[in-house]
Structure 1
């Protein structure tokens, strides 16, 4: 008699990807997630430099941290999820990472609030590509009984990236605090550019790696028979 545990064991054996390659891929996705949350959160440490260099209000800062990112991240996550189901997930992550990296760099180079707001829109759209593609790839890399641990490892990227953002932003703010307005502007630009532009090179390296094979669409899951 075949049981559910027997079916799960057979699924483990039938996995086409070796554990070593699967965990290496999760490690790469984790690093990308850390970069994503670093770019997303570092602006919260740049509030005073932004207000001082661009002369914006608290309400405008709230738009940058909330609606400018969150709304575009949520809205564009739906069509990107549709694309993930149909096209190369590797390319979707590559183009999304390239977009948010260049947009994060543009945040540091923005000379007006409007330019900064538009760049922040780009960060939200680009980062919306990561989660749908990453979850889909991890689901194809691991059998069901190993999937929860892999997703848990990937999910730690948010905490690690957020912590690194506060560390980097706090250090940059301390280094230039005594330089007045010129130091404030340099802090804002250097922080955002350093956070964003190096990600473009990492995205290019990720784009060169082979894509994860998809599980067969439409094939029914094995059923336990008495």
Structure 2
């Protein structure tokens, strides 16, 4: 909602932590680097290189993370805005914003009167689905196998917790195409302007000093009259 100019409306985007399918021992590696001096570099004031070693963890390339994002009472343009941002975002966090990249994919869209199952529940279902395949679960996982397993798990959500709408693969493809069109160079400006204008009724116009003065005078006059 902050993108629309702010206001008193509550957030309508619920996010959770994303979880990897494989355990951390399989997806995290260590790299050894020279320890830094107090000046933040690997050389001291005399130019001597650091001989001390330090290790830091990193996520190996090709790790798959699954996440569920729930949108509450959004308009069509807000849906396009959120999905567009998810698809366009490739960096997360302080460290990954400099050295790491991710690619987001939308694997399913649901609707109903209740919140979707959690990200952890999704990951557990996908892990159990993949363990039934003859292929060993080892890093890196095959992306097509992960997508297939995920879609099989979420296909059963139509009967869970008040979920009543599930887009088919064709409908999902058409939705993503619609989002891409609105975020295209030709349509992006008009789309964002239209979205911005939809928040006009929620915005509070800040009172000027003159209007505050007139308001205070009105209160004083009313008080004197009542006396």
Indicate whether the TM-score tops 0.5: no
Bigger Rg, which one: 2
Q: Which has the higher contact order (CA 8 A, sep 6+)?
A: 1
Return the structure number with greater helix share.
1
